[in-house]
């Protein structure tokens, strides 16, 4: 039997030490900002029951769920006739009771319902874990990727939306990524569907216009026609989809268009409040009202957000919105929520493309001790312990091999300092410290060594 070359599933990736250092920089930066705003961390299982997951993401989302085959004899309850019929949806329902989570929001809603008696409302949680989608892999789109979510449940206040946008702005400032933050409101979209006479087609309309950036206006209109939207309604949508100008100008125009829709005007009022509040706090990145932004997920009911990098081509790198009725699906009606999700994998790619990682974030070892033999190692070990006590990331090469090999190891790991201790250094009670960046080396005592390495 021929040996099969090892591989990983399409749409997944391995991450080596340097890549993990970069990813941890992303996670730690986001965690620090979440903590500044009083969010607490939770985790939920990788698998949820399909009862929890199905029907929460629309038909397109349901198709992208990874289903997990039941363990044991999963065919025991399937008849030969059912197998011959090859009804995939029917077979899935009997063969699979669980699925990999598609996002972190639905599992969070399930968590809130199950733990409601333990929670202090409003509850501000953050969660950084992988999710899975059976999507077609392409640049910036993976089947396994991390999300970094923050959600607030138990409060209707729009100040929560304002705070979440401040978090987005702060995180991308810290990364050094220039972004555009887009905002819209599902109530505005619902109002539009009302005034064009297609209120019952709101989901079809939002799913179609959310693809505007990807497929263009002509194909969006084609999809609307295929979904049974009348030609008259499509024509009424055109000026709104094409609307340009400052946020205030857009709000005035859309308020006039929606003057006969109570729901639509409520959306305009909410959006106006958020934009005005954010003006007062002085965001560093641009907020743009984008009336084509729809966020295809069915559970959004109010403000919706999406963030794109300005200096490199990439899809959405952060998104979110208000979901007033999500926990109602799990038997807990009336609990409002709003959240955002940072796409860590896309942020990783953006930081790579723009070369924005700080040097300290991607370097591991700061100081390497050369191994000359048993006597020298015995002398170095207490010094190494003292260096580590001061927070210096320190190694000793484990084998007493040729010095060239040990120095090559230091270069390969981008270690800035190398310490050498032979007979002369031991006699003097010092070490020779070599700066691998400048090439300069000096005989120094332990305190001076620590001072130079720490900079």
In total, the chain counts a number of residues equal to 455
Is 103 within any annotated ligand binding site? yes
Is 399 within any annotated ligand binding site? no
The structure tokens listed for 60 are 């397109």
Is 101 within any annotated ligand binding site? no
Per-residue CA distances from 109 to 52, 68, 116, 155, 393 (Å):
10, 21, 10, 14, 41
What is the rounded CA–CA span in Å between residue 214 and residue 209?
Answer: 10
Is 409 within any annotated ligand binding site? no
Is 126 within any annotated ligand binding site? no
What is the rounded CA–CA span in Å between residue 40 and residue 126?
Answer: 6
Nearest to 372 by CA among 422, 327, 330, 331: 422
Torsion of CA 197, 201, 202, 203, to 10 degrees: -170
**Sign, Cα dihedral of 115, 119, 121, 125:** negative
What is the rounded CA–CA span in Å between residue 291 and residue 191?
Answer: 12
Is 295 within any annotated ligand binding site? yes
Count CB neighbours of 232 within 10 A. Answer: 10
Chain-centroid distance of CA 202 in Å reads 27
Is 147 within any annotated ligand binding site? yes
Is 300 within any annotated ligand binding site? yes
Nearest to 391 by CA among 453, 319, 329, 318: 453
Is 104 within any annotated ligand binding site? yes
Residue list, annotated binding site? 103-105, 133, 147, 151, 295, 299-300
Question: Residues marked as binding for L-histidine?
Answer: 103-105, 133, 147, 151, 295, 299-300
């Amino acid at each position: 039997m021929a040996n099969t070359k090892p591989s990983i599933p399409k749409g997944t990736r391995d991450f080596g030490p340097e890549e993990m250092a970069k990813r941890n920089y992303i996670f730690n930066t986001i965690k620090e900002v979440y903590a500044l705003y009083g969010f607490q961390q939770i985790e939920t299982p990788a698998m949820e029951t399909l009862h929890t997951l199905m029907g929460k993401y629309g038909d397109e989302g349901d198709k992208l769920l990874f289903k997990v085959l039941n363990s044991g004899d999963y065919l025991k309850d399937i008849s030969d006739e059912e197998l011959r019929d090859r009804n995939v949806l029917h077979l899935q329902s009997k063969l699979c009771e669980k699925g990999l989570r598609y996002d972190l929001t639905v599992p969070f809603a399930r968590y809130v319902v199950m733990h409601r008696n333990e929670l202090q409302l409003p509850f501000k949680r953050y969660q950084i874990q992988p999710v899975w989608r059976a999507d077609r892999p392409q640049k910036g789109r993976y089947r396994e990727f991390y999300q970094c979510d923050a959600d607030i449940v138990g409060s209707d206040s729009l100040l929560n939306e304002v705070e979440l946008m401040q978090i987005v702005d702060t995180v991308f400032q810290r990364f050094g990524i220039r972004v555009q933050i887009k905002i819209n409101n599902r109530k505005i979209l619902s109002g539009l569907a009302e005034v064009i006479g297609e209120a019952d087609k709101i989901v079809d309309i939002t799913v179609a216009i959310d693809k505007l950036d990807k497929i263009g206006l002509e194909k969006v209109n084609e999809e609307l026609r295929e979904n049974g939207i009348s030609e008259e309604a499509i024509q009424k949508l055109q000026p709104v989809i094409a609307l340009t100008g400052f946020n205030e100008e857009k709000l005035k125009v859309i308020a006039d268009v929606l003057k006969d829709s109570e729901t639509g005007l409520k959306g305009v009022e909410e959006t106006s409040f958020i934009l005005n509040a954010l003006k007062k706090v002085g965001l560093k990145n641009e907020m743009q009202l984008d009336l084509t932004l729809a966020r295809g997920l069915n559970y959004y009911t109010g403000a919706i957000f999406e963030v794109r990098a300005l200096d490199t081509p990439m899809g959405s790198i952060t998104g979110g919105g208000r979901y007033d009725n999500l926990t109602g699906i799990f038997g807990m009606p009336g609990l409002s929520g709003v959240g955002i999700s940072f796409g860590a994998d896309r942020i990783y790619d953006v930081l790579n493309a723009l070369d924005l990682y700080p040097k300290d974030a991607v370097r591991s070892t700061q100081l390497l001790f050369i191994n000359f033999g048993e006597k020298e190692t015995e002398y170095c070990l207490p010094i190494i312990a003292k260096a580590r006590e001061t927070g210096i990331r320190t190694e000793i090469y484990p084998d007493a091999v040729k010095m060239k090999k040990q120095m090559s190891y230091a270069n390969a790991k981008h270690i800035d300092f190398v310490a050498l201790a032979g007979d002369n250094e031991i006699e003097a009670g010092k070490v020779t410290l070599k700066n691998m960046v400048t090439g300069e080396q000096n005989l120094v005592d332990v305190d001076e060594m620590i001072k130079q390495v720490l900079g």
